[in-house]
Amino acid sequence: MLLNTMKKPVRVWSQDRKRRHGVVASSLNEAVEKGAAKLGLPDPCAITVVLEEDGTVVDDDYWETLASDTKLILLSADEAWKPSPLSVPSNLLFVSDETDGSMDDQQRALNLFTALQQNPASVALLNLSDLEIIKDANLSAPELSSQNKDSSLQLQELCIEFYVKKKKEAEAMELVDLLKEHLKGNDN
């Protein structure tokens, strides 16, 4: 029997649907390993894979039937699938479900600026790394010079504001986690 070793692109999401990445894998196990690394999940062996739309568990046999770009949620041992809490209209979504190919930061910045010019409100949905790419983008670079300079500069300034805010929030959450760990250690 010839094994199907064709790679297929799938989208892997965190349980809360806030972190999303595209991976290309030839097996469920490879998708789990790559997805866990991208999502920052600690133990790929303890992950359950489910369909984003209805929570159906995906096993090796079911993997073979999945279409390209299927949305999968990777659940850690202590997580359970929940329906999406809020249906966001697609015109307000800014989804960066890219496959794990190589794209330089300048090309990524161009893609982000183009998407933001079409829907500036989606800046609020960008993750920290995308905001950082825009923050650090050289607007005089040839790739970006074809964009409207004034609107690109305004978008960059807006992204810097969001970057600073999200960075402070992330640092505050890290501090809260450290305090929780410290207090947990003192209880013993």
| Domain extent listing, the chain | 1-101, 105-183
**What pLDDT score does 5 carry?**
64
Give the burial class of 45: count Cβ atoms within 10 A of its Cβ; 0-12 exposed, 13-18 middle, 19 or more buried. Answer: exposed
Q: Domain 1-101 carries which CATH code?
A: 3.10.20.10
**How far apart are the C-alpha atoms of 75 and 184, rounded to whole Å?**
25
Q: Averaged in consecutive runs of 10 residues, what is the pLDDT profile of the chain (188 residues)?
A: 70 90 93 92 90 91 91 91 63 48 68 79 81 84 68 85 88 88 78
**What pLDDT score does 88 carry?**
45
H or E stretch including 8?
strand 8-13
Give the burial class of 172: count Cβ atoms within 10 A of its Cβ; 0-12 exposed, 13-18 middle, 19 or more buried. Answer: exposed
**What pLDDT score does 147 carry?**
62
Q: Is 71 helix (H, G, I), strand (E, B) or coil?
A: strand
**How far apart are the C-alpha atoms of 37 and 40, rounded to whole Å?**
5
Q: Which pTM was predicted?
A: 0.46
**What pLDDT score does 129 carry?**
83
**What pLDDT score does 143 carry?**
65
Query: Do 96 and 103 touch, CB atoms closer than 8 A?
Result: no
Residues 6 or more apart whose Cβ sits within 8 Å of residue 187? none
Closest among 107, 123, 42, 30 to 79, alpha carbons compared: 42
